[in-house]
Each structure stands twice: as C-alpha cells, then as structure tokens.
Structure 1
Amino acid sequence: MTLSTTLTILFSSFLVTVILAPVGIPLLRRLKFGQSIREEGPQSHMKKAGTPTMGGLIFLLAIIISTIVVAMIFDLFTTQTIVLLLVLVGFGVIGFLDDGLKVIFKRNLGLTSLQKLIGQIAIAIAAFLLLRLGSFDTSIGIPYTDVSIDLGILYVGFLIFWLVGFSNAVNLTDGLDGLVSGTASIAFAAFGVIALFNEQADIALFAFAVTGALLGFLIFNANPAKVFMGDTGSLALGGALAMISVLVKQELLLLLIGLVFVIETLSVILQVGSYKLRKKRIFKMSPIHHHFELSGWSEWKVVLVFWSTGCIVALIAVLAEALL
C-alpha cells in the first residue's frame, strides 16, 4: 500500500467522523442517551452524568464507510476485510445492546456477563469459520523468533479467548475522557505499520481507517468530553484490535502494543482476587486509572501518562519488528 493510499484512508475516516459528530452528538442528547455514573466512583466524575453516550456509533460508521469505499477503489476488499468488519460490527452490536439497556432502565448495568459472552463467542466462531474457508495459519508465533506452535482446530478456542479478553480489556480501560480513543488509535496505527511490513495492504487499510476515525472522535471525546463512546465503541475496538493481531500473525505482540489494556485488566483481577482472598484492597479503586485519580492525579495527567506509555510500547514493538 502506497503512502497516498495510507493518507487517503486516514484522512477520509477522520473527515467522516468530524462530519458525523456534530450531527450525532445532538441527536444522542435529544434521544436522552445520557451516561450513568457509578456512585462508588470518583466524585469528580458525577458532573459527567448525562453526557451523551453510545458515541461509538459515530466512529464505527466512519470506519465502515471509509473502509468499504477506499478498499473498493484500491481493490483491497478481501475476506480478511470482511472478517475485520464482522468482528467490529458484531462486537459493536453487543455493546449497543448493553448501552441501550443502561439508557432505557437508567442504570449502570446492561446485558448480563453471560449474554455478552455468548454473543462474543458466536462472533469469534463465525470469524474463525470464515478464515478457515481459505488457507488460514492456525499457529501462534513467539514475537521476534522463529518459534511457533500450531494449534490446529484448537485455535478456535484461542481466538475466542483472545477476542473476548481484549474486547473486555478495552472496555475496562474506557473510564476517562479520551483514554481509549488515544491509546486505541496508537495501537491500531502500530499494527497498521506492521501490516505494511508484511505487505498485508487490506489489513493496513482497516487499521488506519480505525486510527483516523478515532483521532476525529478524540476531538469531541477529549477532556471535557462532549460524548462518550460507550460499550458500543470500546467492545468493538477491543475485538477488532485482537482480530488484527491474529491476521498479521502477531497475536502475542498485542500484549506489548496493548500493554495499557493489559495493565488495566490485571489491576481489576488483582483487586478482586485480593479482596476475596484477604478482604483487603491493593488499589484505592480499580481499574488502575481510578487509583491514580484518587491518589491526587488530575484526569488529564492520568490520560497523558497512559497515552505516553502506549506510544512508547508501540514504538518499541514497531522498531523491533523493522530491525529484527
């Protein structure tokens, strides 16, 4: 994929998002799709109650439109493009239903964990079956080595774990203005570059479409946020990010590029485990971004530190991929 194609997809998805947002945000407000805030959360967040949520619909539309149009123009619409759109839309629908129930019943709980899990598993299996129609590699490699393990049909179990795990990891991270928009755009851009190294132009196109759309959304989602992405956006982004790592055959590299999401998830696991086993909390609150807030950090400081961490690990991953 040429530089002009890369810039075309980045700019087009950015532009579509920037055009849709001023229309979508007032519409979400009129429909009273306001965010419910956890009472046990930081008190500084209570002022965010009522901010339009489900804004993920805005950048999801931008990603879908720009990916399909640009892929058609440059003849890059492939089975892998279909799989990526399937995962993005499928997980987005689950998030949309989850957000919808929260809005309708004015509570912070939507779909049950089991309902979400069943939907995520079904989408992961559908993606696997589509990939198996071609010559899909079912091995998992160790980054920067020639070592790999072929899982065969068991790969479907790994795929389910990977997509469900990272969709929920990104969802957990979505707790501060602009946090996920920034960290996810960095992660998708990194995998876009890696896809270019691998000459997988169709995957690179999708990755940069997501990057451009998120940068456009960040204009409206940065502190103070005019709109939240909701589970509609975060679940879709997590599933799509995991799927990209699978398609570029750098599954485990996602643990580095998505380190912020991994740390956020581990903080929740450690907090819950510690409380159940010892009746003591490790952090003031989990996920860990709230711990830093309650420790006196401003919201902007937490977000900037996490963005910086995402940039550093992404650069390390990309440079290592280029040099090794």
Structure 2
Amino acid sequence: MVIEFLIIFFLSLLFIRGVRNHSERLGLIDVPNGRSTHSSHTPRGAGIGFYLAVALVIPVFYFDIIVSYVWTCMAIFLVFIVGVMDDHHDTSPNTKFFVIMFGTFLLYLDGIVIDKAGLFFGFDISLGWFALPFTLFAVVGFTNALNLIDGLDGLAATVSIVILGSFFAVGYLHNDLFMMLMAGAFISALLGFLVYNWHPASIFMGDSGSLTLGFVISMLAIKSLAYLPAVSILFIAAIPILDTLVVMVRRKMRGRSMFSADRCHMHHILRHFFAEDTRKTVLFLVVLQGIYSLTGLQLEKEMDNGYLLILFLLNVVLLYMFLAAMIKRQNRDC
C-alpha cells in the first residue's frame, strides 16, 4: 500500500499545481468577501487535483475493491462533480443538497447505511424504516459541516487528515481493506495539497475538495459503526460537528436563521484570540481534534451510547459557554 500512497501524493502535487497555474483560464478563482480571511483573488478547486490523484491510482491497484463498492465510488464521483460545478460558477445549495442525498442513496445500495443506533440506557435501538432517512440526515449534515470549517489555510485539510487517520486505524485493527484504502489514499492526497495550502495558501480546495472529503468521511464513519459505538463517531469527527452545532444553536437563540452566514465560527473566534495568527489557530484545532479522535477510538462497541452521548453533549455546552465568553470579550456581533 505504501507505493500506491506515494504515487497518489506525487500525483496530487502535480495535478494541484496544474489547477493552480491554469485557474484563471478554468474559471476557478476565489473572490474575497466579508467573511474571507484572505484579501486577494486566490485560485481554488484543488479538490480536482487531489480527487483525480486518488481516482486514477486506486482502480489500477485495487480494481476488485472498486468493483465491490461500485455504487459508493459512483456516489463520491457525483459529489465531486457538483463540487467542481460550484467552484466554477457557484451551484445553488439545493442542487448540492439533492446530489449529496442521491449519493447517500447509492451508499445504501452498497449496504452502507446506519441501521442500528446501538445500546442506549440498556435498550438496543434498531432504526428499521428510519435507517435511510437518518443516514441521509447524517451524511448531508456532516458533509456541510466539513465545508463550513474550510475557512482558514490548511484547516479543513489537517482536521480531515486526523479524522481519516482515525478511520485508517479502525480499518487496520479490524482488517477492513476498503476503509484503509480510502482513508490512506485521501490522507496521501491531502498531504500533497498541504504543500500549497499551508499558510500562506496559494490555492484553496474549494467545494470540489470539501464536499468530497465530507462525503468520504461520512461514508467511512458509517462503515466504522460495525466496529465502534455510534457516539464514538461524534468524538472522532468532533471539530466540524461541534462547530456546526454551536453556531446553529447560537444563531437560533439570537433569532437568526440557523443557515445564515457570519464570521462566528470557532476558527474565526480563535484566530482573533491568537492575534490573527492562522498557523497557531490551525495547530490548536488540529491538536484538539486529535484529542477528541483518540478519545473516540478508546470507546468499545459494547459501551452504552446513552452515557457517551451525555458526555458529548456536555462538551457542546462547555464549548458554547467558552466561545460565548470569547465573543463577548471580542465585542463580536454573533
């Protein structure tokens, strides 16, 4: 596997460089707005480069695995395509929403679905007819959550590497070749991307990258439910989930739309705390994600999810209070 991952890394470097150098001609330019942390026009669409690196290498070495998960691979491809369309000319949210939903249905055809919630306060919860709707909610929610943290140079990529590394470990411990392959391949591709995206970034991943990554991580999370308790996934992928939950609760309590845009995400607040130092902010959040992920990996399949969920919700409350205090101190309108 090491040789394949090295090839993916170098192809990712090559393809992303090509996208960056031809971004104007391809119409892949990010124009800064009021929520941006950059002030100049910057190439975007690096997701095209790192997805292609994975998509071209994996079938050559593991064609049998691809055939076994053909609907899953098709789903990832469709989400990638709608991301490319958005990078090029800002696709409507409804279009992205329906493509992700359709992609989730394709996962269902490969048996990748949340059909059991596990043990909650002594009761074994099976979702039955609600399995597919709940899976749709989870995948759409997390895919967009990862998209929302893509606001600082290197943040989405490094957080994703930590999360993917956790799922690689799960696949390795349980001899799940598909999990190891997908997690390792995207880690390799993202390491190539970070060469260009570490602050100061010369190119952004765009929705072609963030939507694809969010969808792939969601898929791996569902696969890992065969080996881990459900709530452990909330810890393994904590930073995007916590950020989205806290922001949406705060907006609701302030009487705003939960889907409105602002500069009140965790990374915005922490960046101001670190004197606008992007690298320190990213490193802090990556370390925090690492702690959460290691916590999630320690949880055993037989544990009661009810008590674990209480523990996670306590983290939500504490983070909300901590960020609320920082917002007040920074006189930020959130």
Q: For residues 129 and 87 of structure 1, what CA distance do their matches in structure 2 show?
A: 10
Q: For residues 37 and 320 of structure 1, what CA distance do their matches in structure 2 show?
A: 42
- When residues 95 and 32 of structure 1 are mapped into structure 2, their CA distance, relative to the original with a 3 A threshold, is closer
The aligned residue for residue 176 of structure 2 is: 200
* TM-score with structure 1 setting the length: 0.82
| 1:264 is the counterpart of 2:243 | yes
Q: For residues 71 and 288 of structure 2, what CA distance do their matches in structure 1 show?
A: 29
| 1:301 is the counterpart of 2:277 | no
Query: By how many angstroms is 1:10 displaced?
Result: 2.7
* TM-score with structure 2 setting the length: 0.80
Q: For residues 93 and 203 of structure 2, what CA distance do their matches in structure 1 show?
A: 25
Query: By how many angstroms is 1:78 displaced?
Result: 4.7
The aligned residue for residue 248 of structure 1 is: 224
Q: For residues 115 and 153 of structure 1, what CA distance do their matches in structure 2 show?
A: 26
SS at 1:253 equivalent? helix
Query: By how many angstroms is 1:96 displaced?
Result: 1.7
Query: By how many angstroms is 1:29 displaced?
Result: 3.6
Query: By how many angstroms is 1:112 displaced?
Result: 2.9
Correspondent of 2:9 among 2, 11, 14: 14
Instruction: Name the count of aligned residue pairs.
Output: 295
| 1:209 is the counterpart of 2:197 | no
- Where structure 2 has 5 or more consecutive residues not aligned to the other structure, the ranges are 304-334
% identical equivalent positions: 24
The aligned residue for residue 270 of structure 2 is: 292
Query: By how many angstroms is 1:70 displaced?
Result: 2.4
SS at 1:149 equivalent? strand
| 1:69 is the counterpart of 2:45 | no
| 1:85 is the counterpart of 2:65 | no
1:88-127 alignment runs, 5 A limit: 88-101=76-89, 110-127=90-107
RMSD: 2.7
Contact 2:66/2:73 (8 A) holds in 1 = no
Contact 1:84/1:240 (8 A) holds in 2 = no
Deviation string, structure 1 residues 213-234 (Cα, Å, up to 9, x no partner): 1111111111011110011110
- Where structure 1 has 5 or more consecutive residues not aligned to the other structure, the ranges are 102-109
1:221 partner amino acid: N
Q: For residues 60 and 231 of structure 2, what CA distance do their matches in structure 1 show?
A: 31
Q: For residues 113 and 319 of structure 1, what CA distance do their matches in structure 2 show?
A: 37
Deviation string, structure 1 residues 183-214 (Cα, Å, up to 9, x no partner): 10111111011012222112211111011111
Contact 1:21/1:217 (8 A) holds in 2 = yes
Q: For residues 266 and 185 of structure 1, what CA distance do their matches in structure 2 show?
A: 21
Q: For residues 13 and 122 of structure 2, what CA distance do their matches in structure 1 show?
A: 43
Larger relative contact order, structure 1 or 2 (CA cutoff 8 Å, min sep 6):
1
SS at 1:235 equivalent? helix
1:61 partner amino acid: L
Query: By how many angstroms is 1:288 displaced?
Result: 1.6
